[in-house]
Amino acid sequence: MELKLELEPTNQKPKKQQRRKREKYMPHAVPLVLPPCRICGKLASGIHYGVNSCEACKGFFRRYLKRKEPFQCTKGGNCVIDQSSAGSMCSGCRLQKCFSLGMSKEGIRQGRYTLQERTNAIIEMKKRQTERCSTESREDNCNHYLENEMQSSPFDYPSLSSSDMQSDSASSFSCSQNSSLTSTSSIFPPSSTSSPSSISSSLGSSVIKSNKPDPQILKNMKTEYSKIPSELDSSTNEIQQHISCNDSSSSTSTSEKHSQNSTVSQLLFPLTTENIAQDSEEHSTIEKLMEGYKELKPFTKNLSDEEIQALLSDGFQKYSQKVNLFGSMDPLPANVYNEIFNITNMDIDGRMKIFDLIRQELVTVIHEYVRFTHGIPAFQNLPSKDQASLLKAARLEFFLLLGYRSLDPETGMMVSYTGHVLPIRQFCAYAPGDMSTSWLEVTRHIRHLQLHPKEHAAMLGICLTFTDRCPLEDPKSVEKIQTCLLGVLQNMLRVRYQGASGRHLARIMDVFIKLRGLNEEFLMVYKKICQDRFIIQHLPELLQFLFDE
Contact between 150 and its own copies per CB under 8 A: no
The interface region with DNA, picked from 63-71, 174-182, 217-225, 371-379 by CB under 7 A, is 63-71
Report what 449 binds from Zn ion, its own copies, DNA, none; CB cut-off 5-8 Å by kind. Answer: none
Amino acid in the structure at residue 324: N
Contact between 192 and its own copies per CB under 8 A: no
> Do 516 and 188 meet the contact criterion of CB atoms below 8 Å apart?
yes
Please say which residue, 30 or 348, places its beta carbon nearer to Zn ion: 30
Ramachandran area for residue 41 (φ above 0: left; ψ -120 to 50: alpha; else beta): left
Taking the complex as a whole, how short is the minimal distance between the CB of residue 107 and Zn ion, in angstroms? 15
What does the alpha-carbon distance between residue 351 and residue 427 come to, in Å, rounded to a whole number?
Answer: 9
Contact between 157 and its own copies per CB under 8 A: yes
- Paired strand residues for 423: 413
Taking the complex as a whole, how short is the minimal distance between the CB of residue 70 and DNA, in angstroms? 12
Q: Which of 197, 285, 300, 277 is nearest to 481 (CA)?
A: 285
518's CB contacts (< 8 A; 6+ apart) are 396, 397, 400, 435, 438, 439, 442
> Do 260 and 154 meet the contact criterion of CB atoms below 8 Å apart?
no
Q: Which of 108, 110, 115 is nearest to 50 (CA)?
A: 108
Taking the complex as a whole, how short is the minimal distance between the CB of residue 27 and DNA, in angstroms? 5
Please say which residue, 287 or 339, places its beta carbon nearer to its own copies: 339
For the chain, what is the radius of gyration of the CA atoms? 27
Please say which residue, 114 or 211, places its beta carbon nearer to DNA: 114
Report what 267 binds from its own copies, DNA, Zn ion, none; CB cut-off 5-8 Å by kind. Answer: its own copies
x/- map, 33-72, its own copies, by CB under 8 A: ----------------------------------------
Binder of Zn ion out of 45, 49, 50, 54 (CB under 5 A): 54
- CA 34 from centroid of its chain's CA atoms: 36
Report what 93 binds from Zn ion, DNA, its own copies, none; CB cut-off 5-8 Å by kind. Answer: Zn ion
Binder of Zn ion out of 39, 429, 470, 489 (CB under 5 A): 39
Give the other-Cβ count within 10 Å of 371's Cβ.
Answer: 18
CA-based torsion, 280, 286, 289, 294: positive or negative:
negative
What does the alpha-carbon distance between residue 137 and residue 234 come to, in Å, rounded to a whole number?
Answer: 10
Total residues in contact with DNA, by rule CB under 7 A: 54
The interface region with its own copies, picked from 57-65, 254-262, 286-294, 389-397 by CB under 8 A, is 254-262
Report what 9 binds from its own copies, DNA, Zn ion, none; CB cut-off 5-8 Å by kind. Answer: its own copies
Q: Which of 352, 522, 338 is nearest to 432 (CA)?
A: 522
Please say which residue, 53 or 191, places its beta carbon nearer to Zn ion: 53
Q: Restricting to residues 5-24, name those near DNA by CB under 7 A.
A: 18-19, 21-24
What does the alpha-carbon distance between residue 271 and residue 283 come to, in Å, rounded to a whole number?
Answer: 16
Q: Restricting to residues 56-115, name those near Zn ion by CB under 5 A.
A: 57, 73, 75, 79, 90, 92-93
Ramachandran area for residue 547 (φ above 0: left; ψ -120 to 50: alpha; else beta): beta
Distances (CA, A) of 344 to 7, 257, 337, 426: 60, 68, 11, 16
> Do 407 and 237 meet the contact criterion of CB atoms below 8 Å apart?
no
Q: Restricting to residues 426-485, name those near DNA by CB under 7 A.
A: 444, 448
- Paired strand residues for 422: 414
Taking the complex as a whole, how short is the minimal distance between the CB of residue 447 and its own copies, in angstroms? 8
> Do 519 and 396 meet the contact criterion of CB atoms below 8 Å apart?
yes
The interface region with its own copies, picked from 30-38, 342-350, 469-477, 540-548 by CB under 8 A, is 342-350
Amino acid in the structure at residue 311: L
The interface region with DNA, picked from 110-118, 144-152, 318-326, 395-403 by CB under 7 A, is 110-118
Report what 271 binds from its own copies, Zn ion, DNA, none; CB cut-off 5-8 Å by kind. Answer: its own copies
Please say which residue, 98 or 308, places its beta carbon nearer to DNA: 98
Please say which residue, 5 or 150, places its beta carbon nearer to DNA: 5
The interface region with its own copies, picked from 41-49, 379-387, 394-402, 524-532 by CB under 8 A, is 524-532
Please say which residue, 18 or 302, places its beta carbon nearer to DNA: 18
Binder of its own copies out of 251, 273, 280, 302 (CB under 8 A): 251
Please say which residue, 39 or 378, places its beta carbon nearer to Zn ion: 39
Binder of DNA out of 3, 27, 248, 450 (CB under 7 A): 27
Question: SS3 of 46, please?
Answer: strand
What does the alpha-carbon distance between residue 237 and residue 130 come to, in Å, rounded to a whole number?
Answer: 11
Binder of DNA out of 38, 97, 114, 522 (CB under 7 A): 114
Question: SS3 of 524, please?
Answer: helix
First and final CA of the chain: distance in angstroms? 80
Give the angle subtended at the CA of 239 by the CAs of 233 and 244, to the nearest 5°. Answer: 125
Taking the complex as a whole, how short is the minimal distance between the CB of residue 442 and Zn ion, in angstroms? 25
Ramachandran area for residue 338 (φ above 0: left; ψ -120 to 50: alpha; else beta): alpha
Please say which residue, 25 or 325, places its beta carbon nearer to DNA: 25
What's the residue count for the chain? 549
Contact between 499 and DNA per CB under 7 A: no
C-alpha dihedral, 96 to 97 to 98 to 103, nearest 10°: 100
Please say which residue, 248 or 280, places its beta carbon nearer to its own copies: 248
What does the alpha-carbon distance between residue 442 and residue 268 come to, in Å, rounded to a whole number?
Answer: 27
Q: Which residues bind DNA (CB under 7 A)?
A: 18-19, 21-25, 27-32, 42, 45-50, 54-60, 62-63, 65-67, 86-89, 91, 94, 105-116, 444, 448, 507, 510
Q: Which residues bind Zn ion (CB under 5 A)?
A: 37, 39-40, 42, 54, 57, 73, 75, 79, 90, 92-93
